[in-house]
Structure 1
Amino acid sequence: MHALIVVAHPDPRSLTHGVAAHLAEGITLADGGHSFEIADLTVEGFDPRFSAADIALHLRNEAVPADVAAEQARLDRADALVLVYPVYWWSMPGLLKGWIDRVFTNGWAYDDRSDAGLVKLLGRLPVHLVGLGGADAGTYTRRGYFGAMKTQIDHGIFDYCGAPVVTSELLLETGEDHATAHLEAARAIGRRLFDTSERHEATDAA
Protein backbone atom coordinates (compact mmCIF):
# COMPACT_ATOMS: atom_id res chain seq x y z
CA MET A 1 0.00 0.00 0.00
CA HIS A 2 1.17 3.51 -0.80
CA ALA A 3 0.45 6.76 1.04
CA LEU A 4 0.69 10.32 -0.26
CA ILE A 5 1.63 12.63 2.61
CA VAL A 6 0.96 16.28 1.79
CA VAL A 7 2.59 18.81 4.09
CA ALA A 8 2.11 22.58 4.05
CA HIS A 9 4.57 24.60 6.14
CA PRO A 10 7.24 27.02 4.89
CA ASP A 11 9.87 26.01 7.48
CA PRO A 12 11.43 22.56 6.93
CA ARG A 13 12.62 22.60 10.58
CA SER A 14 9.07 23.06 11.89
CA LEU A 15 7.23 20.63 14.12
CA THR A 16 4.78 20.14 11.26
CA HIS A 17 7.55 18.71 9.08
CA GLY A 18 8.77 16.63 12.02
CA VAL A 19 5.31 15.16 12.45
CA ALA A 20 5.13 14.32 8.73
CA ALA A 21 8.54 12.60 8.89
CA HIS A 22 7.63 10.57 11.99
CA LEU A 23 4.31 9.58 10.44
CA ALA A 24 6.18 8.38 7.35
CA GLU A 25 8.57 6.43 9.60
CA GLY A 26 5.58 4.75 11.22
CA ILE A 27 4.35 3.61 7.81
CA THR A 28 7.67 1.89 7.14
CA LEU A 29 7.63 0.22 10.58
CA ALA A 30 4.19 -1.32 10.07
CA ASP A 31 3.81 -4.88 8.83
CA GLY A 32 3.20 -5.20 5.10
CA GLY A 33 6.04 -3.32 3.41
CA HIS A 34 4.06 -0.14 2.79
CA SER A 35 5.52 2.90 1.04
CA PHE A 36 4.98 6.64 1.04
CA GLU A 37 5.66 9.86 -0.86
CA ILE A 38 5.91 13.25 0.84
CA ALA A 39 4.60 16.18 -1.17
CA ASP A 40 6.05 19.39 0.30
CA LEU A 41 3.87 22.01 -1.36
CA THR A 42 6.20 24.87 -0.40
CA VAL A 43 9.35 23.28 -1.83
CA GLU A 44 7.53 22.08 -4.93
CA GLY A 45 6.17 25.58 -5.57
CA PHE A 46 2.57 24.54 -6.12
CA ASP A 47 0.47 27.52 -7.17
CA PRO A 48 -2.67 27.60 -4.98
CA ARG A 49 -4.35 30.47 -6.83
CA PHE A 50 -7.72 29.51 -8.30
CA SER A 51 -7.56 31.11 -11.74
CA ALA A 52 -9.79 31.56 -14.76
CA ALA A 53 -8.40 28.28 -16.10
CA ASP A 54 -9.62 26.49 -12.96
CA ILE A 55 -13.07 28.01 -13.34
CA ALA A 56 -13.16 26.89 -16.98
CA LEU A 57 -12.19 23.38 -15.89
CA HIS A 58 -14.96 23.38 -13.29
CA LEU A 59 -17.42 24.33 -16.03
CA ARG A 60 -15.90 21.62 -18.28
CA ASN A 61 -14.88 24.16 -20.88
CA GLU A 62 -11.11 23.58 -20.71
CA ALA A 63 -8.63 20.74 -20.25
CA VAL A 64 -7.02 20.00 -16.89
CA PRO A 65 -3.99 22.29 -16.26
CA ALA A 66 -0.70 20.37 -16.26
CA ASP A 67 0.11 21.01 -12.59
CA VAL A 68 -3.35 19.87 -11.50
CA ALA A 69 -3.14 16.76 -13.69
CA ALA A 70 0.19 15.87 -12.06
CA GLU A 71 -1.31 16.11 -8.57
CA GLN A 72 -4.33 14.05 -9.57
CA ALA A 73 -2.00 11.39 -10.98
CA ARG A 74 -0.17 11.22 -7.65
CA LEU A 75 -3.46 10.77 -5.86
CA ASP A 76 -4.55 8.11 -8.33
CA ARG A 77 -1.40 6.15 -7.42
CA ALA A 78 -2.07 6.46 -3.69
CA ASP A 79 -3.99 4.09 -1.45
CA ALA A 80 -4.32 6.76 1.26
CA LEU A 81 -4.02 10.54 1.53
CA VAL A 82 -2.47 12.15 4.61
CA LEU A 83 -2.62 15.91 5.19
CA VAL A 84 -0.23 17.35 7.80
CA TYR A 85 -0.59 21.06 8.50
CA PRO A 86 -0.55 23.80 11.14
CA VAL A 87 -3.90 25.26 12.10
CA TYR A 88 -4.17 28.82 10.76
CA TRP A 89 -7.24 30.79 11.83
CA TRP A 90 -9.05 27.59 12.82
CA SER A 91 -8.55 25.92 9.45
CA MET A 92 -5.73 24.77 7.16
CA PRO A 93 -3.15 27.10 5.57
CA GLY A 94 -4.11 28.84 2.34
CA LEU A 95 -1.48 26.86 0.41
CA LEU A 96 -3.10 23.55 1.33
CA LYS A 97 -6.63 24.84 0.85
CA GLY A 98 -5.62 26.13 -2.58
CA TRP A 99 -4.20 22.70 -3.41
CA ILE A 100 -7.57 21.17 -2.59
CA ASP A 101 -9.46 23.93 -4.43
CA ARG A 102 -7.52 23.27 -7.63
CA VAL A 103 -6.90 19.52 -7.48
CA PHE A 104 -10.24 18.17 -6.24
CA THR A 105 -12.01 19.12 -9.43
CA ASN A 106 -15.45 18.57 -10.85
CA GLY A 107 -15.14 15.44 -12.97
CA TRP A 108 -12.33 13.93 -10.91
CA ALA A 109 -13.19 14.24 -7.20
CA TYR A 110 -16.93 14.49 -7.80
CA ASP A 111 -19.28 14.75 -10.77
CA ASP A 112 -21.85 17.49 -10.52
CA ARG A 113 -24.20 17.68 -13.49
CA SER A 114 -27.54 19.46 -13.57
CA ASP A 115 -29.19 16.45 -15.20
CA ALA A 116 -27.79 13.78 -12.86
CA GLY A 117 -27.06 15.42 -9.51
CA LEU A 118 -23.93 14.90 -7.44
CA VAL A 119 -21.84 11.74 -7.80
CA LYS A 120 -19.03 11.24 -5.26
CA LEU A 121 -15.94 9.83 -6.97
CA LEU A 122 -13.34 9.37 -4.21
CA GLY A 123 -14.81 6.55 -2.18
CA ARG A 124 -11.65 4.53 -2.80
CA LEU A 125 -9.35 7.08 -1.08
CA PRO A 126 -9.08 6.98 2.73
CA VAL A 127 -8.06 10.34 4.21
CA HIS A 128 -6.01 11.02 7.35
CA LEU A 129 -6.01 14.57 8.74
CA VAL A 130 -3.30 15.65 11.18
CA GLY A 131 -3.47 19.29 12.26
CA LEU A 132 -1.14 21.00 14.72
CA GLY A 133 -2.76 23.66 16.88
CA GLY A 134 -1.19 26.40 18.95
CA ALA A 135 -3.87 26.35 21.67
CA ASP A 136 -4.96 23.76 24.22
CA ALA A 137 -7.97 21.45 24.07
CA GLY A 138 -9.92 23.62 26.51
CA THR A 139 -9.82 26.55 24.09
CA TYR A 140 -11.03 24.38 21.22
CA THR A 141 -13.84 22.98 23.35
CA ARG A 142 -15.02 26.33 24.73
CA ARG A 143 -15.11 27.97 21.31
CA GLY A 144 -16.54 25.01 19.42
CA TYR A 145 -13.52 24.79 17.13
CA PHE A 146 -13.45 20.97 17.08
CA GLY A 147 -16.91 20.83 15.54
CA ALA A 148 -16.31 23.81 13.27
CA MET A 149 -13.18 22.29 11.75
CA LYS A 150 -14.84 18.92 11.23
CA THR A 151 -17.72 20.64 9.48
CA GLN A 152 -15.38 22.63 7.22
CA ILE A 153 -12.85 19.95 6.38
CA ASP A 154 -14.03 16.41 7.17
CA HIS A 155 -17.58 16.91 5.93
CA GLY A 156 -17.43 20.02 3.76
CA ILE A 157 -14.56 18.76 1.62
CA PHE A 158 -14.03 15.04 1.88
CA ASP A 159 -17.52 13.76 2.52
CA TYR A 160 -18.66 15.85 -0.45
CA CYS A 161 -16.25 13.79 -2.59
CA GLY A 162 -17.03 10.50 -0.84
CA ALA A 163 -13.50 10.09 0.58
CA PRO A 164 -13.77 8.45 4.03
CA VAL A 165 -11.95 10.34 6.79
CA VAL A 166 -10.29 7.58 8.83
CA THR A 167 -8.11 9.82 11.03
CA SER A 168 -9.08 13.32 12.15
CA GLU A 169 -6.45 14.29 14.68
CA LEU A 170 -5.64 17.68 16.20
CA LEU A 171 -2.30 17.70 18.02
CA LEU A 172 -2.66 20.49 20.59
CA GLU A 173 -0.47 22.04 23.25
CA THR A 174 -0.47 19.93 26.41
CA GLY A 175 2.60 21.14 28.28
CA GLU A 176 6.29 21.87 27.96
CA ASP A 177 7.12 18.63 26.13
CA HIS A 178 4.17 18.53 23.78
CA ALA A 179 6.48 18.31 20.75
CA THR A 180 7.78 14.89 21.80
CA ALA A 181 4.24 13.68 22.39
CA HIS A 182 3.20 14.92 18.95
CA LEU A 183 6.06 13.06 17.25
CA GLU A 184 5.20 9.84 19.06
CA ALA A 185 1.53 10.23 18.15
CA ALA A 186 2.47 10.79 14.51
CA ARG A 187 4.56 7.61 14.41
CA ALA A 188 1.63 5.68 15.90
CA ILE A 189 -0.74 7.10 13.27
CA GLY A 190 1.66 5.99 10.54
CA ARG A 191 1.94 2.47 11.92
CA ARG A 192 -1.83 1.98 11.85
CA LEU A 193 -2.46 3.89 8.63
CA PHE A 194 -3.30 0.79 6.63
CA ASP A 195 -5.05 -1.05 9.45
CA THR A 196 -8.12 -2.38 7.64
CA SER A 197 -10.15 -2.76 10.84
CA GLU A 198 -9.84 0.98 11.57
CA ARG A 199 -10.78 1.77 7.99
CA HIS A 200 -13.94 -0.34 8.25
CA GLU A 201 -14.86 1.34 11.56
CA ALA A 202 -14.50 4.80 9.99
CA THR A 203 -16.62 3.80 7.02
CA ASP A 204 -19.34 2.41 9.29
CA ALA A 205 -19.31 5.58 11.41
CA ALA A 206 -19.73 7.77 8.33
Structure 2
Amino acid sequence: MHALVVVSHPDSASLTHAAAARIAEGIARSGHTAEIADLTAEGFDPRFGAADQAAHLKQAAPPADVVAEQARIDRADALVLVYPVYWWSMPGLMKGWIDRVFANGWAYDEVPGGRTEKKLGRLPVHLVGLGGADRGTYVRHGYDVAMRTQIDHGIFGYCGAPVATSELLLVPPDAVDPAEALAAARALGGRLFEAARRPADAA
Protein backbone atom coordinates (compact mmCIF):
# COMPACT_ATOMS: atom_id res chain seq x y z
CA MET A 1 0.00 0.00 0.00
CA HIS A 2 1.08 3.59 -0.52
CA ALA A 3 0.96 6.71 1.67
CA LEU A 4 1.33 10.36 0.74
CA VAL A 5 3.11 12.20 3.54
CA VAL A 6 2.62 15.96 3.23
CA VAL A 7 4.91 18.17 5.30
CA SER A 8 4.86 21.92 5.82
CA HIS A 9 7.83 23.66 7.46
CA PRO A 10 10.23 26.21 5.95
CA ASP A 11 13.33 24.54 7.45
CA SER A 12 14.29 21.15 6.00
CA ALA A 13 16.40 20.50 9.12
CA SER A 14 13.43 21.00 11.46
CA LEU A 15 11.95 18.47 13.85
CA THR A 16 8.83 18.51 11.67
CA HIS A 17 10.79 17.26 8.65
CA ALA A 18 12.58 14.70 10.81
CA ALA A 19 9.22 13.40 12.04
CA ALA A 20 7.92 13.12 8.46
CA ALA A 21 11.05 11.18 7.49
CA ARG A 22 10.60 8.80 10.46
CA ILE A 23 6.97 8.21 9.50
CA ALA A 24 8.04 7.35 5.94
CA GLU A 25 10.77 5.10 7.37
CA GLY A 26 8.25 3.25 9.51
CA ILE A 27 5.97 2.79 6.51
CA ALA A 28 8.84 1.36 4.44
CA ARG A 29 9.90 -0.98 7.25
CA SER A 30 6.39 -2.39 7.38
CA GLY A 31 6.58 -3.32 3.69
CA HIS A 32 4.73 -0.40 2.14
CA THR A 33 5.71 2.74 0.22
CA ALA A 34 5.57 6.44 0.99
CA GLU A 35 6.02 9.65 -0.97
CA ILE A 36 6.96 12.81 0.93
CA ALA A 37 5.45 15.99 -0.47
CA ASP A 38 7.45 18.95 0.89
CA LEU A 39 5.17 21.91 0.19
CA THR A 40 7.92 24.48 0.82
CA ALA A 41 10.55 22.82 -1.37
CA GLU A 42 8.03 22.19 -4.14
CA GLY A 43 6.93 25.82 -4.14
CA PHE A 44 3.21 25.10 -3.83
CA ASP A 45 1.20 28.33 -4.08
CA PRO A 46 -1.34 28.33 -1.21
CA ARG A 47 -3.24 31.40 -2.40
CA PHE A 48 -6.88 30.70 -3.29
CA GLY A 49 -7.28 32.86 -6.39
CA ALA A 50 -9.78 33.64 -9.11
CA ALA A 51 -9.09 30.35 -10.93
CA ASP A 52 -9.81 28.42 -7.71
CA GLN A 53 -13.01 30.38 -7.18
CA ALA A 54 -14.16 29.61 -10.74
CA ALA A 55 -13.42 25.92 -10.18
CA HIS A 56 -15.32 26.02 -6.87
CA LEU A 57 -18.36 27.41 -8.70
CA LYS A 58 -17.86 24.77 -11.43
CA GLN A 59 -17.44 27.48 -14.02
CA ALA A 60 -13.98 26.25 -15.04
CA ALA A 61 -11.65 23.30 -14.65
CA PRO A 62 -9.35 23.34 -11.59
CA PRO A 63 -5.86 24.82 -12.08
CA ALA A 64 -3.20 22.36 -13.26
CA ASP A 65 -1.25 22.40 -9.97
CA VAL A 66 -4.41 21.51 -8.06
CA VAL A 67 -5.19 18.64 -10.45
CA ALA A 68 -1.65 17.32 -9.95
CA GLU A 69 -2.05 17.34 -6.15
CA GLN A 70 -5.43 15.63 -6.37
CA ALA A 71 -3.88 12.94 -8.58
CA ARG A 72 -1.17 12.34 -5.95
CA ILE A 73 -3.82 11.85 -3.31
CA ASP A 74 -5.86 9.60 -5.63
CA ARG A 75 -2.81 7.33 -5.97
CA ALA A 76 -2.46 7.03 -2.19
CA ASP A 77 -4.11 4.57 0.17
CA ALA A 78 -3.57 6.94 3.11
CA LEU A 79 -2.81 10.63 3.60
CA VAL A 80 -0.48 11.83 6.38
CA LEU A 81 -0.17 15.52 7.24
CA VAL A 82 2.85 16.53 9.33
CA TYR A 83 3.11 20.14 10.49
CA PRO A 84 4.22 22.44 13.31
CA VAL A 85 1.42 23.92 15.39
CA TYR A 86 1.15 27.64 14.59
CA TRP A 87 -1.34 29.58 16.71
CA TRP A 88 -3.09 26.34 17.69
CA SER A 89 -3.63 25.22 14.12
CA MET A 90 -1.65 24.25 11.03
CA PRO A 91 0.63 26.63 9.07
CA GLY A 92 -0.89 28.82 6.38
CA LEU A 93 0.94 26.91 3.64
CA MET A 94 -0.71 23.63 4.57
CA LYS A 95 -4.09 25.27 5.14
CA GLY A 96 -3.81 26.88 1.69
CA TRP A 97 -2.96 23.48 0.21
CA ILE A 98 -6.19 22.15 1.70
CA ASP A 99 -8.15 25.24 0.62
CA ARG A 100 -7.15 24.73 -2.99
CA VAL A 101 -6.81 20.95 -3.32
CA PHE A 102 -9.82 19.75 -1.32
CA ALA A 103 -12.11 21.36 -3.82
CA ASN A 104 -15.79 21.23 -4.62
CA GLY A 105 -16.35 18.45 -7.15
CA TRP A 106 -13.37 16.39 -5.94
CA ALA A 107 -13.31 16.25 -2.13
CA TYR A 108 -17.04 16.90 -1.81
CA ASP A 109 -19.90 17.87 -4.06
CA GLU A 110 -22.42 20.60 -3.41
CA VAL A 111 -25.60 19.22 -4.97
CA PRO A 112 -29.01 20.82 -5.55
CA GLY A 113 -31.21 21.05 -2.50
CA GLY A 114 -28.43 22.21 -0.21
CA ARG A 115 -26.99 18.74 0.32
CA THR A 116 -23.29 17.94 0.38
CA GLU A 117 -21.96 14.67 -0.98
CA LYS A 118 -18.81 13.50 0.83
CA LYS A 119 -16.36 12.04 -1.69
CA LEU A 120 -13.27 10.96 0.27
CA GLY A 121 -14.62 8.07 2.32
CA ARG A 122 -11.93 5.74 0.96
CA LEU A 123 -9.05 7.90 2.26
CA PRO A 124 -7.82 7.41 5.84
CA VAL A 125 -6.12 10.54 7.15
CA HIS A 126 -3.38 10.72 9.78
CA LEU A 127 -2.72 14.11 11.41
CA VAL A 128 0.59 14.73 13.18
CA GLY A 129 1.11 18.15 14.74
CA LEU A 130 4.39 19.10 16.45
CA GLY A 131 4.07 21.60 19.26
CA GLY A 132 6.28 23.38 21.75
CA ALA A 133 3.79 23.67 24.62
CA ASP A 134 3.18 20.91 27.16
CA ARG A 135 0.07 18.73 27.04
CA GLY A 136 -1.38 20.44 30.11
CA THR A 137 -1.50 23.73 28.21
CA TYR A 138 -3.50 22.15 25.38
CA VAL A 139 -5.94 20.54 27.79
CA ARG A 140 -6.28 23.51 30.14
CA HIS A 141 -7.22 25.95 27.37
CA GLY A 142 -9.10 23.46 25.20
CA TYR A 143 -6.68 23.89 22.29
CA ASP A 144 -6.59 20.13 21.67
CA VAL A 145 -10.38 19.96 21.37
CA ALA A 146 -10.49 23.10 19.22
CA MET A 147 -7.93 21.65 16.79
CA ARG A 148 -9.84 18.37 16.48
CA THR A 149 -13.06 20.30 15.90
CA GLN A 150 -11.74 22.57 13.15
CA ILE A 151 -9.34 20.14 11.42
CA ASP A 152 -10.50 16.56 12.07
CA HIS A 153 -14.21 17.28 11.95
CA GLY A 154 -14.44 20.59 10.11
CA ILE A 155 -12.20 19.65 7.18
CA PHE A 156 -11.98 15.89 6.88
CA GLY A 157 -15.37 15.06 8.36
CA TYR A 158 -16.91 17.41 5.79
CA CYS A 159 -15.25 15.42 3.00
CA GLY A 160 -15.99 12.04 4.57
CA ALA A 161 -12.30 11.12 4.98
CA PRO A 162 -11.94 9.12 8.21
CA VAL A 163 -9.31 10.50 10.60
CA ALA A 164 -7.45 7.38 11.73
CA THR A 165 -4.79 9.24 13.75
CA SER A 166 -4.89 12.67 15.36
CA GLU A 167 -1.61 13.03 17.22
CA LEU A 168 0.22 15.87 18.93
CA LEU A 169 3.95 15.26 19.35
CA LEU A 170 4.94 17.80 21.97
CA VAL A 171 8.53 18.85 22.54
CA PRO A 172 8.68 21.79 24.99
CA PRO A 173 11.41 24.41 24.33
CA ASP A 174 13.49 23.20 27.28
CA ALA A 175 13.49 19.57 26.12
CA VAL A 176 17.02 18.32 25.56
CA ASP A 177 16.26 15.32 23.34
CA PRO A 178 13.36 14.97 20.86
CA ALA A 179 14.06 11.23 20.51
CA GLU A 180 10.74 10.26 22.08
CA ALA A 181 8.75 12.27 19.55
CA LEU A 182 10.74 10.84 16.65
CA ALA A 183 10.30 7.30 17.96
CA ALA A 184 6.55 7.91 18.16
CA ALA A 185 6.59 9.15 14.55
CA ARG A 186 8.41 6.02 13.37
CA ALA A 187 5.97 3.81 15.29
CA LEU A 188 3.04 5.61 13.69
CA GLY A 189 4.46 4.88 10.25
CA GLY A 190 4.99 1.25 11.16
CA ARG A 191 1.36 0.70 12.09
CA LEU A 192 -0.20 2.97 9.46
CA PHE A 193 -1.59 0.11 7.39
CA GLU A 194 -2.14 -2.42 10.20
CA ALA A 195 -5.94 -2.21 9.99
CA ALA A 196 -5.83 -2.90 6.25
CA ARG A 197 -3.88 -6.12 6.86
CA ARG A 198 -6.32 -7.55 9.40
CA PRO A 199 -8.73 -10.26 8.20
CA ALA A 200 -12.27 -8.99 7.75
CA ASP A 201 -13.57 -11.30 10.53
CA ALA A 202 -10.86 -10.48 13.09
CA ALA A 203 -12.75 -7.81 15.00
Shift of 1:117: 1.1
**2:53 aligned with 1:19:** no
In structure 2, how many angstroms separate the alpha carbons of the residues matched to 1:76 and 1:176? Answer: 38
Residues 1:124 and 2:134 are matched in the alignment: no
Q: Is the 8 A contact 1:2 1:80 kept in 2?
A: yes
- Residue in 2 aligned with 1:43? 41
Give the corresponding residue for 1:202. none
What is aligned with 2:164? Answer: 166
Deviations 1:98-150 (A, max 9, x none): 00000000000001123361110000000000000110001111100010000
> TM-score normalized by structure 1?
0.92
**5+ long unaligned stretches in structure 1:** 200-206
RMSD: 1.7
The question of whether the paired residues in 1 share the 8 Å contact of 2:80 and 2:128 is answered with yes
3-state SS of paired residue (2:47): coil
Instruction: Tell me the percent identity.
Output: 70
**How far 1:177 sits from its partner (Å)?**
3.9
TM-score, normalised relative to structure 2: 0.94
8 Å CA contact 1:54, 1:102 repeated in 2: yes
- Call closer, same or farther: CA 1:41–1:189 in 2, change over 3 Å: same
- Where do residues 69-84 of structure 1 align in structure 2 (5 Å cutoff)? 69-84=67-82
Contact map agreement 2:171 2:181 (CA 8 A) in 1: no
Partner residue, 1:203: none
Cα distance in 2 for partners of 1:98, 1:8 equals 11
The answer to whether the Cα contact below 8 Å between 2:106 and 2:119 also exists between their aligned partners in 1 is yes
- Kept in 1: contact 2:25–2:186 (CA 8 A): yes
